[in-house]
Structure 1
Amino acid sequence: MTTYNKVDIKIVLLLCLVSISSLAEAFGRPAASAIVKPRQTIFNVLAFGAKPDGKTDSTNAFQAAWDATCKHPEPARLVIPGGEFLVRQVKFEGPCNNKSPIFIQLRGIVKASIDTSTFTEPEWITFEKIVGLNLNGGGTFDGQGPAVWAKHDCSAQAKCASRSVNLKFRNVTNAKIGRITSKDPKGFHMCINSCNNFRAKALEITAPGDSPNTDGIHVSNSNDVTIAKSVISTGDDCISIIQGVNRIKIADVVCGPGHGISVGSLGKYKDEKDVHDVLVKNCTLINTQNGVRIKTWPDSPPSAATNITFTNIKMENVTNPIIIDQNYCASAKSCRGNKASNVKISQVKFINIRGTTPTQCAVKMHCSPSFPCQNVQVANIDLKYVPVLPTNALSKAVSECANVKVAVAGFVIPAPCI
């Protein structure tokens, strides 16, 4: 009978492990010691009848593919391959049977119908009641807005139909959205509403600077939202944060053209929820109508916006680089008279903001006489006035304030209101 010592046994076990690992790698499978992820069942829209020709209506195929993905009890991936797919309104709705996140891989271009009579909801593509969503793939959602913008210009017409949002996320928890493009929506690009733990990065959001009301990312009634490493070029606010948003971080975003990064407008509706814990950092704004701003309606119901920080912001030819406007009025027909805003603004910081502006008044803080802004701080501001037309006047940028006491730290140009 052969006997083995402890050293022999260890060598044999080691050789066995190496052999298992080598065989696994040879067959393209992870070794026993690696973390094995569960396999995903693939649901390709082509298998449900979608046609990648950009002309055939693929709405029903998209809906059927989603329904199958959502109902599948095991890990699943919905694939939209290369090509162009024409779709009307689609709702990717849960709750789903899958216990793990659902993956949607968009490789091609999804184009919206330009026949707005088929739109029964104010959204084109909706993601709703989903727990665990990963959307990526490098593809594009094209709203084909130029075909309808002139027909639905609410600024020029007394009556106009609402324009649909490209992507609406409603009641979505634990989402990761990245490497997708939103192009030329009929209305807003993306709305995040009543979501929790929502992560969006590496987005490309694009529409002409004169496109009507094409907000980039509009966030409301949501908690723990991150928007990062994205480029937003549009015809309205690049990012707008309205009622009920708590703990949002915006980082490494390039904005322009557009209307800047805004908290607000707030106070438009009755019983709005407060906004708090907003951080905007390491962003660049280029040729925008505004820089970083807080805006509230006059004669508003009571609410509050607190703990808001804008830091490490670069401005290039930005009109109104720093602005608090508590007399905001979207258009002449929507103004509410001279009554003061009842939105309480407090704990606001503007730190390390630098760049150029074509407007001599570079810092404008018009707070409410009923509730003056509290605990507002500016630190290390360097904004240079560069007029559009050459002038011999040695004009410098200035600040303008009302109903606010500003705390100052470091160097501040233009000279602050104190």
Structure 2
Amino acid sequence: MYIGGYIRRAVCCLFVVTMVPINRAAVVNIKSKGAVGDGKTDDGPAILNAWKEACEGASPSSVLIPPGTYMSLSIVLSGPCKGPIEIQATGATIKAPPELAKFKTDSWIQIQSVDRFTMNGGTFDGQGQQIWHSTKCHDSQLTCQLPVNLRLSHVKNSLLKDFTSANSKHFHIALWRCDGSNFVNVTINAPGNSTNTDGIHIARLNGLNITNSNIKTGDDCISFGDGSKNVRIEQVTCGPGHGISIGSLGKYPNEEPVQGIWIKNCTISGTNNGVRIKTWPASHPGVASDIHFEDILMNKVGNPILIDQEYCPHYTCKKGAPSKVKISNVSFRKIRGTSTTKVAMKLACSAEAPCDNVEVADINLKFHGPAGGGGGPTKSECSNIKPKVVGENIPQVCLGGTS
């Protein structure tokens, strides 16, 4: 009697177990959606269809771009998805068409409204060579609408690793409202004479880590727009390019504060600038605070340390009217190497909103002229600032006036 009861219960339990669905991850190969992979045919629809299936499928899901060369026109990969989603592109090269006329938007590949997104591998080649030297596209008004290689908007808790962005027509990577993001082992590659090709542009996000990455481009390696908060950059190599820049800030009304930026253990080589904070003169009010540069090697860099509250490119502003962006709680520590300009440290703050609580500690920057060799000591210049000086510093730090 008891044996029969045990058997009935066992059969019942087995039946219940077999009725529980097994949740397997969805892996969608773009080849199954018609991708050709000859580098000429537009495989954008295949990538988009694979994304839609993975996004709506079992969680976690993945879009597989197998090794090969693909061409794609502009695509928008949108969420929300049912769960975490990944693009796996190791060994794949995706190319944009070189012709600007084939772009109707300001993005080549746009990813938006996704939580827990991962991108692993791949080379994304924007083929921007014929655009960089166009006078029409790079005048002071930027009269062309230029596509960003990879634009992420509202992509949160993400990991992007082991991929390359090359030859973008405009910025390589633009991040907007992408909280809790991580970039690891990223390569950005464009020649020094490419125009407006910022490596990674950051704006209005809270929480970002960029580590172990190599950025070569024709503009800022990393640039910070308003609303950048709690960002850590470590072990990044920058150059050629324009260095690592906070700003420019204050151009538009109601900009959000920039707060909590740590840039540490980086190497900057052959760039126009090193680490800088820049704001527009005659600006709208704004705030930039808790910004820290530490343990940075400068190798033949122009303007290695720079606060510029008179930033006015292309003569498009009222130079002479003070900036209203308040800069405070900033540190430059353990910055060493060579400067191609005599003024290795320039702290030009606003007469209306002088810089507060700026620390300069253990700086060692020697002059290396453009033609090579030495040429005398470096110097510093200051205005509207009384920096806190710690340790031994070369050049000697100016204390509020100009030296």
TM over 0.5: yes
**For the residues of structure 1 that align with 2:372 and 2:87, how far apart are their CA atoms?**
52
SS in 1 for 2:281: coil
**For the residues of structure 1 that align with 2:300 and 2:334, how far apart are their CA atoms?**
17
Q: 1:335 to 1:82 in 2, by over 3 A?
A: same
Amino acid at match of 1:360: K
Q: Identify the range of structure 1 (354-363 vs 111-120) with the bigger mean alpha-carbon deviation.
A: 111-120
Alignment equivalent of 2:30, drawn from 40, 45, 51: 45
Q: Is residue 24–residue 58 contact of structure 2 (8 Å, CA) maintained in 1?
A: no
**For the residues of structure 2 that align with 1:405 and 1:41, how far apart are their CA atoms?**
59
**For the residues of structure 2 that align with 1:377 and 1:208, how far apart are their CA atoms?**
34
Q: CA deviation at 1:156?
A: 4.0
Report matched runs for 1:271-286 at 5 Å: 271-286=254-269
Q: Deviations over 1:304-352 (max 9, x none)?
A: 00000000000000000000000001222x2223211000000000000
Q: Deviations over 1:133-152 (max 9, x none)?
A: 01012x20000000322336
| RMSD over equivalenced CA pairs, Å | 1.6
Q: Deviations over 1:341-377 (max 9, x none)?
A: 0000000000000000111100001000000000000
Q: CA deviation at 1:392?
A: 8.8
Report matched runs for 1:35-114 at 5 Å: 39-97=24-82, 99=83, 101-107=84-90, 108-114=92-98
Report matched runs for 1:335-350 at 5 Å: 335-350=317-332
Aligned residue pairs, count: 377
Alignment equivalent of 1:416, drawn from 394, 397, 401: 397
Q: CA deviation at 1:104?
A: 0.7
Q: 1:305 to 1:158 in 2, by over 3 A?
A: closer
SS in 2 for 1:411: coil
Report matched runs for 1:5-404 at 5 Å: 39-97=24-82, 99=83, 101-107=84-90, 108-137=92-121, 139-151=122-134, 153-156=136-139, 160-332=143-315, 334-389=316-371, 395-404=376-385
Q: Is residue 374–residue 404 contact of structure 1 (8 Å, CA) maintained in 2?
A: yes
Q: Is residue 132–residue 138 contact of structure 2 (8 Å, CA) maintained in 1?
A: no
**For the residues of structure 2 that align with 1:121 and 1:377, how far apart are their CA atoms?**
43
SS in 1 for 2:52: helix
**For the residues of structure 1 that align with 2:126 and 2:135, how far apart are their CA atoms?**
14
Q: 1:391 to 1:147 in 2, by over 3 A?
A: closer
Q: Is residue 38–residue 75 contact of structure 1 (8 Å, CA) maintained in 2?
A: no
**For the residues of structure 1 that align with 2:139 and 2:332, how far apart are their CA atoms?**
36
**For the residues of structure 1 that align with 2:386 and 2:324, how far apart are their CA atoms?**
18
**For the residues of structure 2 that align with 1:335 and 1:164, how far apart are their CA atoms?**
26
Give the gaps of 5 or more residues in structure 2. 1-21
Q: 1:159 to 1:225 in 2, by over 3 A?
A: closer
Q: Identify the range of structure 1 (246-255 vs 383-392) with the bigger mean alpha-carbon deviation.
A: 383-392
SS in 2 for 1:66: helix
SS in 2 for 1:396: coil
